[in-house]
Amino acid sequence: MLNLPQWAFDALSILTQLFILAIGVASLIALFMYARDTTQTADAVRRNYPVVGRFRGLFTTLGEFFRQYFFALDREELPFNRAERDWVYRAAKGKGGTIPFGSTKPMTPVGTALFVNCPFPVLDDDAAATQPMRIGPNARQPYDAPSFFNISGMSYGALSKPAVRALSSGANKANIWLNTGEGGLSSYHLEGGCDIVFQIGTAKFGVRNEDGSLSEKSLREIAELPQVRMFELKLSQGAKPGKGGILPAAKVNKEIAKIRGITVGKAAISPNRHPDIDSVADLLDMIARIREVSGKPVGMKFVVGAYGWLEELCQEIQRRGEESAPDFFTVDSGDGGTGAAPMALMDNVGLTIRESLPMVAEILRTYGLKQRIRIIASGKLLIPGAVAWALASGADFVQCGRGFMFSLGCIQALKCHENTCPTGITTHKKSLQRGLVVREKSDMVADYARTIKEHVEMIAHSCGVAEPRKLQRKHVRIVQEDGRSVPMTELNFVSETLTSPARAPQDTI
């Protein structure tokens, strides 16, 4: 017999009783789960393997976590691999984006872009500063955009309050623009003092009448704000072409409902297109109307699928005169991102930016409109090589969304639509937003933007040009199926139907 004091025996007795109680409670729970699993009809695994079958759901959920952190290789994860995310994290922390030892990026897959360095690169002392580029020369208030790299459209509602505040402040520090996304303009967009591009989606949030039509009164009020520099009419989005914006009901609080002009607690589902735009003529009329009311540059955002309509648009512009043209095209990629989209569209519809951007640039050149209509490229362009490729392919500007989300601390948890984002970026739960400290994250946003610009300039100098916008297709080679690369100038990005009066029906949609 152990010679223990009475209090020890009492404690041991209590622990024993608690242990027995815990076993009893666990047994009751197991019995309850067994009864539920054997009687339910929705899940065959749980019905055939009661209780134990529940672990399948747990392991499926945890599998996403384990693949990301333990099993996926640095260059194989989607939509963004670990190497890409880590580069952004380093850049956002001001570490310069420099890596050791050697590249882990495969250089031989078909379609890989390789920049052609020259024997006598531009000396840093001889490099030219990127000059502002004018957008909307015929608008009453043209915009001289200072940066070739900017923040893409992400709505307040899809993003949290501190996320928008950090982006606004960071954009101001880096001297870049911030696109509102289709969710309207909030005080948080304006708070940081940055330039704003106001996006008008198919539901016309923020500038809509009760019937969903365009409110010229609201448009005029927003245009009077000096920070609002341009308006972007969104026709389609890369992640969901043919489908309007989706904001789950859980995210539609009182404030967001007021900004958008919608009902609290009800999912905001935008129309799949603008009901009042049925043709290229209607499109040009709407752009002219917005430009006349606002006095500011107006462009349009779209993802390319069929492209015959772009030719028809250019021909209509030639009939009306160049002043009728949109001031810019924002060309989105078929693999672009969003807070929520049907998988059927996200996985299957729309051309990627690698195919569509050179195509759009070629069409504008063919019709003599390349200098009139600025091209903004968007869609997975978040590292220097991708941005430099876009500029060489014909873009005047590049804008990025998910890269800036990574700079805010996004860990690619893929919970954007569930209001449970663990980093506070896409949730309206204050307990989760607490982790996103605006002051620190705004600095990271600015550092990421500055590092991108610095490294794109580095690529340009290596190719022998003084600044990034001087990059051309001749500076890029594309890897082919035989493993050899060919100059990008030798590739045909537009069908022979471009210059032919006869077109297949699908090309004129």
What single DSSP character describes residue 416? Answer: G
Q: Return phi, psi of residue 348, to 5°.
A: -130, -15
Superfamily covering domain 124-500: Aldolase class I (3.20.20.70)
Please tell me the distance from the alpha carbon of residue 299 to that of residue 301, in angstroms, as a whole number: 7
pLDDT value for 412: 85
Cβ atoms within 10 Å of 225's Cβ, excluding its own: 13
Q: What residues does 156 pair with on adjacent strands?
A: 159
Q: Give the gyration radius of the chain's Cα atoms.
A: 27
Closest Cα to residue 383, out of 87, 61, 46, 71? 87
Please tell me the distance from the alpha carbon of residue 66 to that of residue 61, in angstroms, as a whole number: 9
pLDDT value for 508: 39
Distances (CA, A) of 261 to 114, 183, 216: 48, 10, 15
pLDDT value for 67: 64
Cβ atoms within 10 Å of 260's Cβ, excluding its own: 26
Cβ atoms within 10 Å of 463's Cβ, excluding its own: 22
C-alpha neighbours within 13 Å on the C-beta side of residue 9: 6
pLDDT value for 66: 64
pLDDT value for 316: 97
The identity of residue 177, as a single letter, is W
pLDDT value for 509: 38
pLDDT value for 63: 64
| 3-state DSSP assignment of residue 195 | strand
β strands within 95-235, DSSP E: 113-115, 133-135, 143-145, 149-151, 177-179, 195-200, 228-234
Element (H, E) at 375: strand 374-378
pLDDT value for 382: 92
Cβ atoms within 10 Å of 54's Cβ, excluding its own: 16
Closest Cα to residue 389, out of 81, 96, 114? 114
Q: Which residue has the tokens 């005080």?
A: 187
Question: Along the 509 residues of the chain, how does pLDDT read in single tens digits?
Answer: 556 677 777 787 888 888 888 888 888 988 988 898 888 888 888 888 888 888 777 776 666 666 666 666 666 667 777 788 888 889 999 887 777 777 778 888 999 999 999 999 999 888 888 899 999 999 999 999 999 999 999 999 889 999 999 999 999 999 999 999 999 999 999 999 999 999 999 999 999 988 889 999 999 999 999 999 999 999 998 777 877 777 778 778 888 888 888 888 888 888 888 999 999 999 999 999 999 999 999 999 999 998 899 999 999 999 999 999 999 999 999 887 776 677 787 778 889 999 999 999 999 999 999 999 999 999 889 999 999 999 999 999 999 999 999 999 888 878 787 888 888 998 888 888 888 899 999 999 999 999 999 999 999 999 999 999 999 999 999 999 999 999 999 988 775 545 544 343 344 33
Please list the alpha-helical segments (H only) found in 138-195: 161-174, 187-191
Q: What is the pTM of this model?
A: 0.86
CB–CB of 264/254 below 8 Å? yes
pLDDT value for 106: 83
Please tell me the distance from the alpha carbon of residue 372 to that of residue 359, in angstroms, as a whole number: 17
Please tell me the distance from the alpha carbon of residue 177 to that of residue 179, in angstroms, as a whole number: 7
Distances (CA, A) of 330 to 4, 399, 452, 489: 80, 9, 20, 23
pLDDT value for 81: 76
pLDDT value for 49: 83
Interacting residues of 31 by C-beta distance below 8 A, sequence separation 6+: none
pLDDT value for 505: 37
| 3-state DSSP assignment of residue 132 | coil
Please tell me the distance from the alpha carbon of residue 156 to that of residue 163, in angstroms, as a whole number: 9
Please tell me the distance from the alpha carbon of residue 64 to that of residue 86, in angstroms, as a whole number: 18
Please tell me the distance from the alpha carbon of residue 53 to that of residue 73, in angstroms, as a whole number: 30
pLDDT value for 374: 98
